[in-house]
Amino acid sequence: MSYVTKSPWIIHYDGSSCNGCDIEVLACLTPMYDAERFGIINTGNPKHADIFLVTGSVNEQNISVVKQIYEQMPEPKIVVAVGICATSGGIFRECYNVKGGVDTVIPVDVYVPGCAARPEAIIDGIVKGLDVLAEKHANMPKSSVSASDAAEEKVKDEDMAIEVRYYGKTAEELDEDIADERVSDAQSVKYYSSSDKDADDSGDKNNGKEEV
Amino acid sequence: MGKRTIIPFGPQHPVLPEPIHLDLVIEDESVLEAIPSIGFIHRGLEKLVEKNEWPEMVYVIERVCGICSFGHGWGYCKSVEGNLGAEIPPRAEYLRTVWHELSRIHSHLLWLGLLADGFGFESLFMHSWRIRETILNIFEETAGGRVIFSVCKVGGVRKDISDEKLKDIVKTLDGIRKETAELTNVFLEDVSVRSRLSGVGALTKQDAEDLCAVGPVARASGILQDVRLDGHGAYPYLDFSPCIETEGDCYARCKVRIRELFQSMDLIEEAVSKIPAGDIEIKLKGNPSGEFVARMEQPRGEAYYYSKGNGSKYLERMRVRTPTNANIPALVKTLQGCDLADVPMLVLTIDPCISCTER
């Protein structure tokens, strides 16, 4: 699974947690636990993220926010519910404004228990999530695989025989174009770079021929 | 005159660990008006008093906020103890004070880190949080949890700290004092940090009074306001005077919190030297039947805890009013006329705890 050797980036959203899990998520990235040494970065942009960490349960007000962040993330993506509130509502389950765990709104792949979830548990949950991420990547339909990934796979499959296309042209067409360009470039260079009269004359002659 | 635009800020924003939404009305680069909207993490936990018996409710109140969790638990206990007319053994009060001041150190270090992250000083953020882990280790050794450790109960504390352990804590704090001084010197002396904070978002003393600012925000504007002066816990027996600054800008707010960091270390040291032997809890009789308001100085400022009992095992009403709630009007005031680029700084320097605010 080559995909998981790349560093996943996470995005974190606080559903309606008490902060306990949020600060533990941040503690994972700071020197004591230091998940950043593996290149795991807490990004603020959903479009850069692979893993969506949600702490706290969902309520009417933030359902749309959670959904929007989830929808903006590119495939493949996984959701990790951090803490007991994100899993089921936890101690706040019976509150009038709590709708329940995050899985009532978006699909959740890994549940991390704890109140507050310990950094070790959160890291463990993310590592579990990486397997799911790799699996999702493998099962993705080919059409939705990104261009760079497709190119990479082709390199492996056909032993470096890649069809390069530049502005929609194949390699052969491109070679012809380049050859043509070289001819015209040589002419133009001759025309513009020369300050002596001969070149100017030849240019004039050409123009004259065209007119004829 | 430029065109007026409304820029949404939050609820999901890189500098915010928690969701708050601001509609920033801007003209050119300066903010004319900021319209806050909150309610993204409202849970309605006050209503849970009807479902949890009053000794159990402390677990819920501790989860008002994960950062100042111990203080919330203490505030609730104080409120119910006042309702019951209970006298708490002095050793329990001293232990509560030690844990509360440790919470303050952890909270302020956390905030310093977030502030550094806010102005893009990543390594400073990492160092703040590295030092903070020492405090979390002390929590784990003494109470068993890292952030929410449920050690406060109505009538006392659940666990005792041995005298040797208390001395160990003082030793540990002495160990990090030098590191912390190195760290905070960067905040106070570094040219680029100063230029980011000095003179930004000044709140005058008059405004702070009118808008009822609390905690470090009020103290940075020159208002002498600290609930610890009222004499709860072990504070009457300790040498304590609030840290006051007068400039009222982001730098002053930062400085107040840094001074409090060291003050808390001193307070813990003094409390450990004076702690009496004795019980750590008392047995309580009966159910709360009156009304009582307790006040606490949280790391972010003054918090109220109101409880109303009706003689049964369930409280009739419980109300928490938290410091960030009181500081939002001050924030909106300072946001008027500031640069768009300073908005994260201003939001961060009131030390917003949205989870507290919305409960």
Closest by alpha carbon to B358, among B10, B110, B75, B64? B64
Residue A59 pLDDT grade (very low, low, confident, very high; cuts 50, 70, 90): confident
Residues in A 32-51 with any Cβ partner in B closer than 8 A:
32, 43-46
Residues A135 and A200 in one domain: no
Token duo for residue A97:
């404004």
- Count of C-beta atoms within a 10 Å radius of residue A166: 11
Residues A106 and A188 in one domain: no
Could you say which of A56, A96, A116 has the minimum Cβ distance to residue B44? A96
Range of the domain at A181: 171-211
Last residue of a domain, one of A91, A119, A141: A141
Residues of B in contact with A44 (CB under 8 A): 12-15
Residues A198 and A126 in one domain: no
Strand pairing class (A10-14; A51-55): parallel
Q: What is the pLDDT of residue A193?
A: 45
State mean pLDDT over A176-200: 59
Q: In this structure, is residue A166 part of a structural domain?
A: no
The answer, yes or no, to whether residue A103 has pLDDT greater than 80, is yes
Give the span between the Cα atoms of B35 and B41, in whole angstroms: 18
Contact B18 A19 (CB under 8 A): yes
Q: What is the pLDDT of residue A167?
A: 59
Q: What is the pLDDT of residue B14?
A: 66
- d(CA A136, nearest CA chain B) in Å: 26
Q: What is the pLDDT of residue B15?
A: 67
**Residue B91 backbone dihedrals phi, psi, to 5 degrees:** -60, -40
Residues A132 and A187 in one domain: no
Closest by alpha carbon to A33, among A127, A165, A158, A103? A127
Residues A34 and A118 in one domain: yes
Number of domains in chain A: 2
Could you say which of A17, A20, A31 has the minimum Cβ distance to residue B130? A31
Residues A176 and A105 in one domain: no
Q: What is the pLDDT of residue A152?
A: 57
Q: In this structure, is residue A146 part of a structural domain?
A: no
pLDDT higher for A145 or B189? B189
Give the span between the Cα atoms of B82 and B193, in whole angstroms: 45
Give the span between the Cα atoms of B199 and B252, in whole angstroms: 9
Percent over 70 (pLDDT), chain A: 69
Residues A179 and A125 in one domain: no
Could you say which of B42, B69, B133 has the minimum Cβ distance to residue A32? B133
Alpha-carbon distance values, B358 to A54, A114, B56, B105, B153 (Å): 18, 22, 21, 24, 24
Could you say which of A18, A32, A91 has the minimum Cβ distance to residue B65? A18
Residues A136 and A191 in one domain: no
pLDDT in tens, A177-186: 777 777 766 6
Instruction: Please tell me whether the interface predicted TM-score (ipTM) of this complex is above 0.95.
Output: no
Would you call A61 an interface residue with chain B, using a CB distance cutoff of 8 Å? yes
Contact A56 B130 (CB under 8 A): no
Q: Are B106 and B70 in contact (CB under 8 A)?
A: no
The answer, yes or no, to whether residue A95 has pLDDT greater than 50, is yes
Helices in A59-118 by DSSP H: which ranges? 63-72, 84-88
Token duo for residue B267:
């307070």
Last residue of a domain, one of A141, A162, A180: A141
Q: What is the pLDDT of residue A212?
A: 41
Token duo for residue B15:
């500098």
Give the span between the Cα atoms of B258 and B243, in whole angstroms: 10
Query: What residues contact B285, with CB distance under 8 A and at least 6 apart?
Result: B84
Query: Residue type for B154, please?
Result: V
Residues A125 and A185 in one domain: no
Contact B66 A23 (CB under 8 A): yes
Would you call B11 an interface residue with chain A, using a CB distance cutoff of 8 Å? yes
Query: Residue type for B209, please?
Result: E
Residues of B in contact with A23 (CB under 8 A): 17, 66-67, 110, 147
Say if domain B42-358 classifies as CATH 2.60.40.10. Answer: no
Q: What rounded mean pLDDT belongs to chain A?
A: 74
Residues A180 and A137 in one domain: no
Residue with tokens 């709360």: B288
The answer, yes or no, to whether residue A194 has pLDDT greater than 50, is no
Q: What is the pLDDT of residue A31?
A: 84
The answer, yes or no, to whether residue A166 has pLDDT greater than 70, is no
pLDDT in tens, A15-24: 888 888 888 8
**Closest residue on chain B to A68 (Cα):** B12
Helices in A60-167 by DSSP H: which ranges? 63-72, 84-88, 119-138, 147-157
Q: What is the pLDDT along chain B (359 residues), one digit of tens a residue?
A: 568 888 888 776 766 667 778 888 888 888 888 888 877 788 888 888 888 888 888 888 888 888 888 889 898 998 888 888 888 888 888 999 999 999 999 999 988 988 888 888 888 888 888 898 898 888 888 888 888 888 888 888 888 888 888 888 899 888 888 889 988 888 888 888 888 888 888 888 888 888 888 888 888 888 888 888 887 888 888 888 888 888 888 888 888 999 999 999 998 989 898 888 888 888 888 888 888 888 888 888 888 889 888 888 888 888 888 888 888 888 888 888 888 888 888 888 888 888 888 77
The answer, yes or no, to whether residue A1 has pLDDT greater than 60, is no
- d(CA A119, nearest CA chain B) in Å: 10
**Closest residue on chain A to B65 (Cα):** A18
CATH number for A17: 3.40.50.12280
Q: In this structure, is residue A155 part of a structural domain?
A: no
Q: Are B25 and B284 in contact (CB under 8 A)?
A: no
Residues in B 63-122 with any Cβ partner in A closer than 8 A:
63-67, 69, 110, 113
- d(CA B205, nearest CA chain A) in Å: 31
Residues of A in contact with B149 (CB under 8 A): none
Q: In this structure, is residue A123 part of a structural domain?
A: yes
Residues A78 and A133 in one domain: yes
Could you say which of A20, A21, A94 has the minimum Cβ distance to residue B69? A20
> Distance between the two ends of chain A, CA-based, in angstroms?
67
Give the span between the Cα atoms of B300 and B28, in whole angstroms: 33
- Count of C-beta atoms within a 10 Å radius of residue B79: 27
Token duo for residue B47:
């209503």
- d(CA A13, nearest CA chain B) in Å: 7
Give the HSE-up count for residue B20: Cα atoms under 13 Å, Cβ half-sphere.
26
Q: Are A19 and B65 in contact (CB under 8 A)?
A: yes
User: Cis peptide leading into B11, omega within 30 of 0?
Assistant: yes
Q: What is the pLDDT of residue A184?
A: 67
Q: What is the pLDDT of residue B159?
A: 86
Residues in A 3-22 with any Cβ partner in B closer than 8 A:
12-22
Residues A115 and A49 in one domain: yes
Give the span between the Cα atoms of B211 and B328, in whole angstroms: 9
Query: Residue type for B247, please?
Result: E
Helices in A35-83 by DSSP H: which ranges? 63-72
Strand pairing class (A10-14; B21-27): unpaired
Best residue of B38, B53, B63 to probe chain A, by most A CBs closer than 10 Å: B63
The answer, yes or no, to whether residue A13 has pLDDT greater than 50, is yes
Token duo for residue B341:
């680029």
